[in-house]
Amino acid sequence: MVLLAGCAKPIVDETGPLNIQRVTVTTAPTVQSETEIGPRLQAAVSETIVGKDPSGKPSTVNIEIQNVTYKNAVLSALVGSANSLGTEVTIADLAGNPLKTLVVVQMQDAAINGIVGAAISLMQEKALVDQRLIEGYSVDLERKIYGPPGHVPAVKPQPAARPAKTSAMGSTPAAPPVAEPQVQAVPTS
């Protein structure tokens, strides 16, 4: 699954360059994390993505934290378990019109399971797990939006429409200039 996620096109390839000006984070009431993960996620993501492309379309990012799970010893021993942070991300213009909505899940420690995985889950410090999830999430979200370092968006920003030239009267567009016909005298002899 990691390989497929790495092949996904960055969001700026669909929307054009983005100048993210604000990040908000809300947490679903059912989320139970060891730390106040919402404000910490907002600070980390803001530091990573706000103001990255000042020439892009002014926009905002809203992250809704939908779940936080910690590696479970029993599940790790039986079928596998992981620490995870699941969110829904909405990128919108400044008027609030959604440009893109996507689900972003950050997983940690999924590969180590069985007896060792169960032991890890029993000994892990959940506050440290939250910090690692936040750090990984911030980097992954930056890449999902902007692509790898040095990526140039496939969609270019649209130039602003130029106002129509007006005539001396000011209300109707001026007619395009018309070329005067050239007359040449032809010698007769």
Q: State the pLDDT at residue 5.
A: 47
Q: How many CB atoms lie within 10 A of CB 174?
A: 11
Find the radius of gyration of the CA atoms of the chain. 27
Q: State the pLDDT at residue 96.
A: 95
Q: State the pLDDT at residue 40.
A: 96
C-alpha to C-alpha distance for 18 and 152, rounded to whole angstroms:
12
Between these two residues, 66 and 185, which has the higher pLDDT value?
Answer: 66
Closest CA to 91 of 164, 11, 185: 11
Highest mean pLDDT pick, 67-76, 114-123, 125-134, 148-157: 125-134
Residue 1 has pLDDT above 50, yes or no: no
Q: State the pLDDT at residue 159.
A: 52
**Average pLDDT of the residues in 120-147:** 85
Strand order, beta sheet including 18-27: 18-27, 57-69, 83-93, 98-108
pLDDT digits (tens, 9 = 90+) for 77-125: 555 667 889 999 999 999 999 999 999 999 876 555 555 555 555 556 7
**Assigned token pair, 20:** 């993210």
**Average pLDDT of the residues in 123-133:** 80
Does the domain at 2-144 match CATH 3.40.50? Answer given as yes
C-alpha to C-alpha distance for 144 and 55, rounded to whole angstroms:
19
Residue 181 has pLDDT above 70, yes or no: no
User: Cα angle at 102 between 97 and 105, to 5 degrees?
Assistant: 145
